[in-house]
Amino acid sequence: MKFILALAAALMAASAPAWAAPTHARPATAAKPKAFAPHVALPKDVAPTRFDIRITPDAANLQFSGHETVALTVRSPTDRIQLNAADIAFKKVTLFDLPSPAAAGSVASQPMHARTPRTSLDKEQQTATFIFDHPLAPGRYTLALDYTGVIYEQASGLFALDYTGEAGKKQRALFTQFENSDARRFIPSWDEPGVKAVYALSVVAPAAQMAVSNMPEIDSKPLAGGLSVTRFADTPKMSSYLLFFALGDFERIHKQVGKTDVGVIVRKGKAAQAQFALDAAAEILPFYNDYFGTPYPLPKLDFIAGPGQSQFFAAMENWGAIYYFDYALLIDPKLSTEADRQNVYVDIAHEMAHQWFGDLVTMAWWDDLWLNEGFASWMENKTTDHFHPEWKIWLQTKAGEQGAMRTDARNGSHPVITPIHDVFAAANAFDSITYEKGHSVIHMLEDYVGPDVFRAGVRNYIARHAYANTVTDDLWTEIDKVSPKKITAIAHDFTLQAGVPLITIDRGADGVRLSQSRFGVDAVSKTPRSWRAPVTVGGLGQPWRTVVSATSSAIKAAPAAATPLVNAGQIGYFRSRYSPQLETRIVAAFPTLAAEDQLGLVYDSRALGEAGYAPLTDFLVVARQAQDAQEPVVLQALINQLDAVDDNYKGLPAQAAFRAFARARLAPAFARLGWDAKPGESDNTALVRRTLLSTLGKFDDPAVIVEAQRRFSGLLANPDSLRGAARLTVLRIVASHADAATWDQLHTLAQKSTESTDRSRLYSYLGASHDPALAEKALELSLTKEPPPTDAPNLISGVSGVFPDKAYDFAIAHRAQVDAMVEPTSRTNFFAGLASGSLSPDIVSKLNAFAETVPASARPSITRTIATITYRQDIIKNRLPEVDRWLAAHPG
């Protein structure tokens, strides 16, 4: 699944003394993993092997009926069968003693003996228990179920998405979304990743519509009333959350890639927008077949596009039928940006990687979710860099890694491999630790053992565990078998404990010395720990590669005038801190550093400064060096870091002085890049131009605002006058500075837009105005039927970016209505995210009160939000005054 990061970027918390000495407390090192406490799961005495499912959707009335027969094995005597079911009404339940296949591969149609159990439903635990008068003996049985279910209007279970079709016709399409645990809303099932079975799906639906599932259609027969029944081939043995179904007025473009029929399925009229995705998938598939050493095993691989959006995910890796929202798959030449093209390619690479890591080999339980998501995130970058090195994707991913480090350095973080008590807690694991820290750790480990050795271990892992379930140590075992350098101990340190190492370099009589402590921003995150961290130091001749822990420092002879560079290449997952003398040297050398190491200085100087490990003014010094950076990714990082510091000045008198400093740093780039694309410029240059202009608009640059308003007037007069990134940049700047008349003009554009992605963006812009009256208007609009159900939450999110307290209070006051807009597993995260930008003194007490209303398993996101707010308050109190003094003493 391609996860969407939190609405508000998480900041680090609390402070530490500047240039503090490494702690002398004995740090903990990650121990060999032990079994976590038992999680809540279904009994193991009954196991399914096959599901035969027949679904009849009633899209107009948002309901469906189902008939299901389950071939199962009773392993030990029991008087009950328990499975998962949510919002399911059972009409008939029958158990047959022995299957008697009527056709090859099908479940019994003429069983020997029938039993009718009593049904008990547990709505809270989402289970159905079928209780029999007498115990069932071990053996094979067939369970037959007739039931009805709900079609939702948000992306959970079987859901409907409405859109404007060809010739302005209002239409509805159906799709499914089951991760992490919503297959139970579609089929009564053993809805756990460690339970694999074969699925055979049939669908009764209008004959004029296209039905799609994981496997190819093998039969379609007409029925009365313009209906038909479509039957799909059996799936391989797989987990329930990977099952997929879609129905609508679709068309498919495709090409044969080796033995695989690769296709993109879109609503009619969108085929041209699917070509980029099809070409990307056809390019990537042979690369993956070779890398993993196991060819993609299904006969077809479809990519399905749907309108709208989710607050939780962009795409889902259903085996053989990957679902995407339009914006993550389709490219519209008029509306899409260079960023859209890159994101689509990366999203395709991510979900295709899951066809091996996640689908073919699946984690045994949600504890090891990162085996799916961390590896898919790493593979998306490796693959994108292979085919598009000009995008410099490894540089771009450092921004996401910083988000993970900020989360990981404060209260509320968790290990990469983390105990998940029940499926309801699993939603908390879809976060930057699992995705961004996960892929960063993998990148570091691959670099440590070498890419060829790492690949050999991955190939062996896939081959050994195909169609089965694993835990993380199964992977480390396979890599250690082929690697001269063993990684299990290092991997345990980085995956079994939360936190960020801090590698400090200073100069002594014997040369340069590396030591390790823990980077943290509050009391919880400063508890001593140790990591065996691979470290590369440049600037001393040949790269110095060593492993440093809290109990084992490293020393290397070096000339007195040397300028050592810690984490050369920036592949290590840690913060780097220099002694004051070495800091001065490395900052002076900034223009000569490689782009990745320039990024390291930009990111670390702000992080260390805000947390109190160094003066925050060190970041301002680095910013002056970085303002002339020619690499677009470095310039983009500088812009984003200045923007983040500016957020802490919100409402403070000194914000004007900081913004003057920030605009001065961005002036050289603006003079070079301007408003309009230059012939032959790189995609990344276009990306940074959009960020630059948007940020200057946020910083109230008068010339930028006036020009954006001029171009907006031109857009209203001639809709073709602006396209792609230029159009979105203007819309964003104008929206944030909108008056009532401009807001109404933007509203009209949103109402008239027939493109799903464009409409979603336009509605979100309505929440961006700095006018509190217009913010109220946007919030009220979110509760009407005007915005599509999946777009309405983004209006509230947009307001939270400017008025977080207003958005949060509104959402709480209308909680039932807002809950209905958001997928059940995303609700707590959504509400907490609205408040994350707040500086209000009473917001923490409000969040604590909110926490009391949600299950304990859903509260970690609230803890993280409170840590973010507390840390920002600490920065404002303890760090900004020194910045103010520095700015006064260093004008310009």
Report, as residue numbers or ranges, the catalytic residues.
351
- Is 373 exposed, middle or buried, given 0-12, 13-18 or 19+ CB atoms closer than 10 A? buried
β-strand pairing of 321-325 with 300-306: parallel
Do residues 250 and 290 make contact, with C-beta atoms less than 8 angstroms apart? no
C-alpha span between 549 and 557 (Å, rounded): 19
**Within a 10 A sphere around the Cβ of 741, how many other Cβ atoms?**
7
C-alpha span between 870 and 859 (Å, rounded): 17
Query: Which of 261, 245, 223 lies closest to 66 in space, CA to CA?
Result: 245
Do residues 177 and 183 make contact, with C-beta atoms less than 8 angstroms apart? no
C-alpha span between 63 and 652 (Å, rounded): 53
| Both tokens assigned to 573 | 């997952």
b/e burial code for range 637-668 (CB count within 10 A of at least 16 → b): bbbbbbbebbbbbeeeeebebbbebbbebbee
C-alpha span between 317 and 359 (Å, rounded): 8
Do residues 324 and 303 make contact, with C-beta atoms less than 8 angstroms apart? yes
C-alpha span between 408 and 402 (Å, rounded): 10
C-alpha span between 215 and 422 (Å, rounded): 30
Residue 827's contacts (CB-CB under 8 Å, 6 or more residues apart) are 819, 854, 858
Do residues 100 and 163 make contact, with C-beta atoms less than 8 angstroms apart? no
Residue 400's contacts (CB-CB under 8 Å, 6 or more residues apart) are 5, 432, 435, 436
**Within a 10 A sphere around the Cβ of 748, how many other Cβ atoms?**
12
Do residues 681 and 647 make contact, with C-beta atoms less than 8 angstroms apart? no
* DSSP assignment of 750-803: HHH---HHHHHHHHHHTT--S-HHHHHHHHHHHTSSSS-TTTHHHHHHHHHTT-
C-alpha span between 107 and 261 (Å, rounded): 29
C-alpha span between 218 and 755 (Å, rounded): 33
Torsion of CA 337, 342, 344, 349, to 10 degrees: 180
Phi, psi (deg, nearest 5) at residue 94: -140, 140
Residue 192's contacts (CB-CB under 8 Å, 6 or more residues apart) are 41, 42, 84, 181, 239, 240, 365, 423
Do residues 323 and 315 make contact, with C-beta atoms less than 8 angstroms apart? yes
b/e burial code for range 547-572 (CB count within 10 A of at least 16 → b): bbbbeeebeeebeeebbbbbbbebbb
β-strand pairing of 28-29 with 529-530: parallel
Could you give the 3-state DSSP secondary structure of residue 67? Answer: strand
β-strand pairing of 196-206 with 227-232: antiparallel
CA distances from 866 to 426, 435, 453, 750, 871 (A): 20, 22, 43, 34, 8
| Both tokens assigned to 43 | 């009994």
| Both tokens assigned to 715 | 């857009």
C-alpha span between 669 and 240 (Å, rounded): 51
Could you give the 3-state DSSP secondary structure of residue 255? Answer: strand
